[in-house]
A and B are shown apart, each in its own frame.
Chain A
Amino acid sequence: MSTPSSSAGSIWFRYASPASFYPLAGQLIPWFGAAAAILALAGLYVGFFVAPTDWQQGEAYRIIFIHVPAAWMAMFTYLVMASWCAISLAFNTRLSAMMAQALAPTGAMFAFVSLWTGAFWGRPTWGAYWVWDARLTSTLILLFLYLGFIALRASIDDPRRADRAAAVLALVGAINVPIIYFSVRWWNTLHQGSSISMTAAPKMAHTMLTAMLLMTLAAWAYTIAVALYRVRSIIVEREALSGWVGALERPGEAGPTMAGAATR
C-alpha cells in the first residue's frame, strides 16, 4: 500500500471533481445496469425453478429471494450514504454530498420493499402482516430516516446548508443500522434469526443460498447504476452555472453540432 497509494490517491482526487466524475459515471451505468438485469434473471431462475420447496414454509419462503436482498441493501446503502455524509462534513467536498443525495431514494425504495415483502411473508408464516417487533420497528425507522433525509434536504434552499443539515441527520441515524442488524439477537423477536451468519454454516439449501446471493448482487449492481444515473442529474442541476456543464450536450435533444454552439 506504500507505492501504489500515491497514484491511487491522485486518481481518487481526479474523480472527486464533479466535472471528471460525470463522464466516468456515464460510462459505468450501462455495465452495472446490464449486470443487474443478468444477475436478477439468473437469481429468479434459480429461485423459482431450481431451489426446492421448503419443508416447513412451502412455497411462501420464495419471498426470501427479494426480502433479504432488499433488507440488506437498505441497511448497507444507509451506511454508504452516512459515510459520504461524513466525508462531506469533514472535507467539505461537493461530490460526496451529491452521492449521499443520490443514494437516499434507492435506499428508501429498498427499505419499503423489505417491509412490504416482510408483511406478505409474515402473514402466512406468523399470521400477521405487521407486529411491533424490534426488527420490524427498527426497519420502519430506517425508512423514516431515508424519507427524513430527503425531506430535510428539499426543505432548505441553499444546497450547501442542505448538505450539512442532511449529513448530520444521516450520521445520527446511522446508530439505527446496528440496532436493526442485532435486534434479532438482543431482543426476543418474532422475526427469525439470520439464515446466514459470518461464523456458522448457512442453515439453508445450497440452491436457495445461490439464488439469494445472485439477487443480492443484482441489488448491488442496480443500486450502483441508479445512484450513478441520479448523481449525474444532480450534478447537471447543481453545477448548472459552471462552464463545463453548459458545454455538455443535452441528452435526447438537438444534434451534436448544436450542443457547443447553443451555449458559447
Chain B
Amino acid sequence: MSEWLAMGGYGFYVWSSYGMLAIALIVELAWLRHHRRESWRRAAAMRAERSIAATTRSGGTNR
C-alpha cells in the first residue's frame, strides 16, 4: 500500500495533481449548492419587492 502511494518516487507530484483536482471539484460543487440557495433567496426578495411596490402604487392612486 505505502509502496503504491509512493508512486515509484513520484508520489508528491502525482498526489499533488490528483489532490488539487479533488479540491477543485469539492469547491465547485459546494459553490454550486450555495449559488442555488442564493438564487432562490434573491428571486424571492425580488418578488417581494415587486409586490410591495405594486401595493404602494395602488394605495397611492386610491387616495
Chain A contacts to B: CB under 8 angstroms: 53, 58-60, 62-63, 66-67, 70, 105-106, 109, 112-113, 116-117, 120-121, 123-124, 222, 226, 229-230, 232-234, 236-237, 240-241, 245-246, 250-251, 263
4 cross-chain pairs, A with B, having the tightest CB-CB distances, nearest first: A240-B43, A60-B10, A237-B39, A59-B7
B11 to chain A, nearest CB (A): 8
Cβ contact within 8 Å between B14 and A62: yes
B17, CB-defined interface residue at 8 Å: yes
Contact residues in A for B29 (Cβ distance below 8 Å): 226
Chain B residues 1 to 54 lying within 8 A of chain A, measured CB to CB, are: 7-10, 13-14, 16-18, 20-21, 24-25, 28-29, 31-32, 35-36, 38-40, 42-44, 46-47, 50
Bound CA–CA A105/B25 (angstroms): 11
Contact between chains at B8 and A58 (CB < 8 Å): yes
**Contact indicator A251/B36 (Cβ below 8 Å):** yes
CA distance A63 to B10 in the complex (A): 10
* Contact residues in B for A106 (Cβ distance below 8 Å): 28
When the two chains form their complex, are residues B14 and A241 in contact, meaning their CB atoms are under 8 A apart? no
Secondary structure class of chain B's binding surface, majority of residues: helix
Which chain B residues lie closer than 8 Å to A70 at the CB level? Answer: 21
Q: How far is the CA of A60 from the CA of B18 in the complex (A)?
A: 12
The 7 listed contacts between A and B (C-beta, < 8 Å) are A58-B8, A109-B25, A123-B13, A124-B10, A232-B36, A233-B38, A250-B40
A67 to B28, CA, bound (A): 18
Q: Which residues of B contact A (CB under 8 A)?
A: 7-10, 13-14, 16-18, 20-21, 24-25, 28-29, 31-32, 35-36, 38-40, 42-44, 46-47, 50
Query: What is the predominant secondary structure among interface residues of chain A facing chain B?
Result: helix
Given contacts A236-B40, A241-B50, contact A117 B10 (CB under 8 A): no
Chain B residues near A60: list those with CB within 8 A: 7-8, 10, 13-14
Query: Once the chains are docked, how many angstroms separate the CA of A162 from the CA of B40?
Result: 21
CB pair A62 B7 closer than 8 Å: yes
Given contacts A53-B8, A120-B17, 18 further A-B contacts (CB under 8 A): A58-B8, A59-B10, A60-B7, A60-B13, A62-B7, A66-B17, A67-B17, A105-B31, A109-B24, A109-B25, A116-B17, A230-B32, A230-B35, A233-B32, A236-B39, A236-B43, A237-B43, A240-B42
Nearest Cβ distance between residue A249 and chain B, in whole angstroms?
A: 10
B39 touches A117 (CB 8 A): no
The answer to whether A58 touches B42 (Cβ under 8 A) is: no
- Cβ-defined contact, B32 with A229, below 8 A: yes
B20 in contact with A58 (CB, 8 Å): no
Q: List the B side residues contacting A112 at CB < 8 Å.
A: 24
User: Which residue of A63, A229, A237 contacts B14 across the interface (Cβ within 8 Å)?
Assistant: A63
Alpha-carbon distance A62/B24, docked complex (angstroms):
19
Contact A233:B36 (CB < 8 A) given known A59-B7, A109-B24, A117-B20: yes
The answer to whether A121 touches B13 (Cβ under 8 A) is yes
Q: How far is the CA of A131 from the CA of B55 in the complex (A)?
A: 63
